[in-house]
Amino acid sequence: MRALNRFHLNGLRALEAAGRLGNLRAAAEELGVTIGAVSQQILKAEEQFGRPLFARHPKGLRPTAFGQEVLRYLSTGFAEIAAGLALAERRREGVLTVSVAPVFASKWLVWRLQRFREQHPDLRIRIDADVSLVDPGSSDVDVCIRVGRGGWPSVKAEKLLDQLVFPVCSPALAERLRHPGDLSLVPIIREPTPMFGWDAWLGPNGLDESILGDGPVFSDASLCLDAAVAGQGVFLGWETLACDAIAMGRLAAPFPDRYDTGISYWFVTARSAPATRAVSAFREWLTSELAMGRRDPST
C-alpha cells in the first residue's frame, strides 16, 4: 500500500478511464475535465511508471503490453472502490444514526419509533443514547436531538419544540394540591443539576422556590419521574418526559398552567452535509409526532 504514495490518484484515474474507453475525449467527459487535463495526467503517470502505457494512434489510444497489465489491475481496483462507495451510499440512505439524551429516548422516542418503521419500512434507525454533544459533521451520527437554547457553532440546528414545564405527581398526591401555594405542603423531587429551576413555574404564579420543602434527590430526570409515579413527591416535569405517564393515568398534572423555560428541542445535523432521504423522513415524522403530543389534551 505504501507504494501508492508515489502515484497521484488523478493520474491513475485518467489512465484507467482512457484505457477502458479507448480515447481521451470519452475519458475527459467521464472525469468531468478537459481533454488536455487528461492528457497531462496520463503523461505524468507514465513518467512515474518510467515507461509508456499507451501507444498513440489517430483513432485513439492503444495500451502497450505493459499498459494492459497495469490497466487490468487499475480497472479491478477502481471497480472495487466504486462498489464500496455505492454500498456506503445505500447504507447512508437506509440507516439513520440518531444521537439523543437517554431520558428523551426512554420516556418518549422509543415508544413511538414503531410508527416511523411502519411509515418507512425500508429505513432503519440506530439510537445512540448519550448526553454528550456529538458533532454530526465529525462522527458517524447523522442527526442529534438536542435540548438547549441553540446557537451551537458548526452545526445546522432547527427548532422542533419549546419546552414547557409544569408540576407532576401521583394522582393520589394531586388531590392534595388545589392552589400553587399548596406545593409547600408536599415533598419536592429534585435533580442535583437541573437545566431549569422551580422559579420557571412558580414565578408566573407570584411565588418563588423559598416556599418549597425538602424531598428526595435523584441523579437524572427519568428517575425523578419514576419517583413521582411512585408517590414520593412532586416533580417539575415537561411534556415529552411526562405525557405518556399522564395519558396512562400513572401521573397527574394538578395545575393547568405550563410555562416556557427558554429551552427547546432542536434537530441538529452537520452544517455542510446534504439532507438525505432518511434524514428528511425522520425530521418530518418527528415534527409531526411532537405536534400531535402538544395537541393531545391528555398531555
- Ranges assigned E (strand) in the chain: 54-57, 60-63, 95-100, 124-129, 143-148, 155-168, 235-238, 259-270
- CATH fold, domain 94-159+263-295, is D-Maltodextrin-Binding Protein; domain 2 (3.40.190)
Residues above pLDDT 70, as percent of the chain: 92
pLDDT at 55: 87
Mean of pLDDT values over 24-34: 87
CATH architecture of the domain covering 2-93: Orthogonal Bundle (1.10)
Average pLDDT rounded to a whole number, residues 141-164: 91
Contact between 235 and 191 (Cβ < 8 Å):
no
User: What's the pLDDT tens digit per position in 174-190?
Assistant: 999 999 999 999 999 99
CATH 3.40.190.10 domain residues, the chain = 94-159+263-295, 163-262
| Per-residue pLDDT tens over the stretch 238-283 | 999 999 999 999 999 999 999 999 999 999 998 877 778 899 999 9
What was the pLDDT predicted at 298? 43
Per-residue pLDDT at 87 exceeds 60: no
Q: What is the pLDDT of residue 299?
A: 39
Superfamily of domain 163-262: Periplasmic binding protein-like II (3.40.190.10)
> So what's the pLDDT on residue 3?
59
Q: How far is CA 192 from CA 40, 120, 170, in A?
A: 66, 40, 22
DSSP string, 238-271: EHHHHHHHHHTTS-B-SS---EEEEEEEEEEEES
Cβ(236)–Cβ(198) below 8 Å: yes
What is the pLDDT at residue 61?
A: 82
Residue 71, H or E segment: helix 65-94
Sequence ranges of the chain with CATH classification 1.10.10.10 = 2-93
